[in-house]
């Protein structure tokens, strides 16, 4: 595939007012989330849940792409349509998580490295044939007084860059996700320091591996105080620090930055995105690729019951439409209490 085609897909993923739904939780992770609400986790219940996430009213107005898990890309809608085709029919690009999770990094206690490079070329080729147009690989960085170590930075940067180069070779747009975790008592200043060094080493590795920056997206954390930090800061401070850090370390050739939510409350993640987009001009589109911050209210509303599927879809519609507005800096508190959209006849079409 020509790099031009990949550039077009990358741009489509960050077209104005649209973002990405991350629905690629592994079976154990989704099972843990189901467990907290006493929802039974089976292949069928996960399929029903994911179909609700993909088919909510007007989904393609707000969502440009969905990141799937290996289990889901092989499943079908209730009417028997394979999910990649189901999404494409709605005007949504199917994507796929291709890493195999973060494992302890040898010699670096308390740190992890993401695995999954072995056999990746063949897996990417299979996913592309199944309809995937973009992929995701998540690196996980713990913050401590002396973490991350140089070993962690280079191992994760190198893996992300090798993954991204393979994706482009196989005709998929790579989403490069280095996540600096919110866990811990660190300050926002420490988060900015660590995010800076992480982004710097990731882009150095991408350069070394010859990755075309125009044909990828960056999925970073926001610059934010650790969950246990005693000094939590304002929305404006988060926006200013985040944009300063990105401006210093993300080349202008990258078409889009799509944030992860990382455990922020759903409405706060929207407010942060909105505030970032209200600040000055930027060389990239700035949007969302949220998992929990889009899904949590819908998962709670569904609670595993068929009779709740519609109200769950409306909860997701709320989060998707508010985040869509935040992509263009037009989100307001009132949008959180606006009327639900009228019932649509295309509710669960294929």
User: For ligand 13P, which is the closer residue by CB, 30 or 39?
Assistant: 30
Separation of alpha carbons 52 and 56, rounded Å: 6
291: contact with ligand 13P by CB under 6 A: yes
The residues with which 102 forms a beta bridge, in sequence order, are 114
128: contact with ligand 13P by CB under 6 A: no
| Residues 219 and 254: beta-carbon distance below 8 Å | no
94: contact with ligand 13P by CB under 6 A: no
Q: Which stretch binds ligand 13P (CB under 6 A): 124-132, 143-151, 289-297, 303-311?
A: 289-297
262: contact with ligand 13P by CB under 6 A: yes
Hey, what are 73's tokens?
Answer: 């890309």
CB of 107 to ligand 13P, least distance (A): 25
293: contact with ligand 13P by CB under 6 A: yes
User: For ligand 13P, which is the closer residue by CB, 261 or 321?
Assistant: 261
Tokens 């949008």 sit on residue: 335
Map residue 104 onto helix, strand or coil. Answer: strand
CB of 179 to ligand 13P, least distance (A): 6
Q: Which stretch binds ligand 13P (CB under 6 A): 28-36, 38-46, 100-108, 260-268?
A: 260-268
Residues 6+ apart with CB under 8 A from 228: 183, 184, 185
Please give the angle made by the CA atoms of 251, 24 and 218, to the nearest 5 degrees: 0
CB of 221 to ligand 13P, least distance (A): 8
56: contact with ligand 13P by CB under 6 A: no
> Which residues 3-32 are close enough to bind ligand 13P by CB under 6 A?
22
User: For ligand 13P, which is the closer residue by CB, 285 or 310?
Assistant: 285
Q: Which stretch binds ligand 13P (CB under 6 A): 228-236, 258-266, 270-278, 308-316?
A: 258-266
134: contact with ligand 13P by CB under 6 A: no
Separation of alpha carbons 82 and 132, rounded Å: 12
292: contact with ligand 13P by CB under 6 A: yes
220: contact with ligand 13P by CB under 6 A: no
Which CA distances in Å does 57 have to 217, 275, 289, 318, 325?
27, 27, 19, 10, 16
Separation of alpha carbons 255 and 4, rounded Å: 13
The residues with which 177 forms a beta bridge, in sequence order, are 138
297: contact with ligand 13P by CB under 6 A: no
138: contact with ligand 13P by CB under 6 A: yes
257: contact with ligand 13P by CB under 6 A: no
Catalytic residues: 177, 219
CA-nearest of 214, 208, 292, 240 to 33 is: 292
| Residues 108 and 94: beta-carbon distance below 8 Å | no
CA-nearest of 328, 302, 20, 304 to 175 is: 20
User: Where do contacts with ligand 13P occur on this chain (CB under 6 A)?
Assistant: 22, 138, 177, 260-262, 290-293
């Amino acid at each position: 595939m020509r790099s031009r085609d990949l550039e077009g897909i990358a741009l489509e993923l960050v077209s104005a007012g649209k973002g990405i739904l991350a629905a690629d939780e592994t079976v154990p992770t989704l099972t843990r989330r189901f467990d907290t609400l006493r929802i039974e986790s089976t292949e069928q219940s996960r399929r029903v849940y994911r179909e609700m996430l993909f088919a909510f009213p007007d989904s393609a107005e707000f969502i440009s792409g969905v990141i799937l898990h290996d289990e889901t890309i092989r499943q079908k809608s209730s009417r028997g349509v394979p999910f990649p085709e189901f999404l494409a029919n709605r005007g949504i690009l199917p994507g796929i998580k291709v890493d195999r999770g973060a494992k302890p990094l040898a010699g670096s206690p308390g740190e992890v490295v993401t695995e999954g490079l072995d056999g990746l070329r063949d897996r990417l080729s299979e996913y592309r044939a199944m309809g995937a147009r973009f992929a995701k690989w998540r690196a996980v960085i713990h913050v401590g007084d002396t973490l991350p170590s140089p070993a962690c930075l280079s191992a994760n940067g190198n893996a992300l860059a090798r993954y991204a180069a393979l994706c482009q070779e196989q005709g998929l747009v790579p989403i490069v996700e280095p996540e600096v975790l919110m866990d811990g008592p660190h300050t926002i200043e420490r988060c900015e320091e660590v995010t800076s060094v992480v982004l710097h080493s990731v882009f150095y590795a991408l350069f070394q591996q010859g990755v075309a920056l125009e044909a990828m997206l960056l999925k970073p954390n926001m610059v934010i105080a650790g969950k246990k930090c005693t000094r939590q800061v304002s929305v404006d401070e988060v926006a200013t620090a985040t944009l300063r850090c990105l401006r210093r370390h993300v080349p202008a050739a990258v078409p889009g930055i799509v944030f992860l939510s990382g455990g922020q409350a759903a409405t706060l993640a929207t407010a942060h995105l909105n505030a970032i987009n209200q600040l000055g001009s930027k060389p990239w589109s700035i949007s969302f690729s949220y998992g929990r911050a889009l899904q949590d209210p819908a998962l709670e509303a569904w609670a595993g019951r068929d009779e709740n599927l519609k109200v769950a879809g409306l909860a997701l519609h709320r989060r998707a439409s508010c985040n869509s507005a935040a992509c263009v800096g037009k989100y307001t508190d009132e949008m959180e209490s606006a009327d639900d959209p009228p019932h649509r006849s295309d509710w669960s079409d294929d």
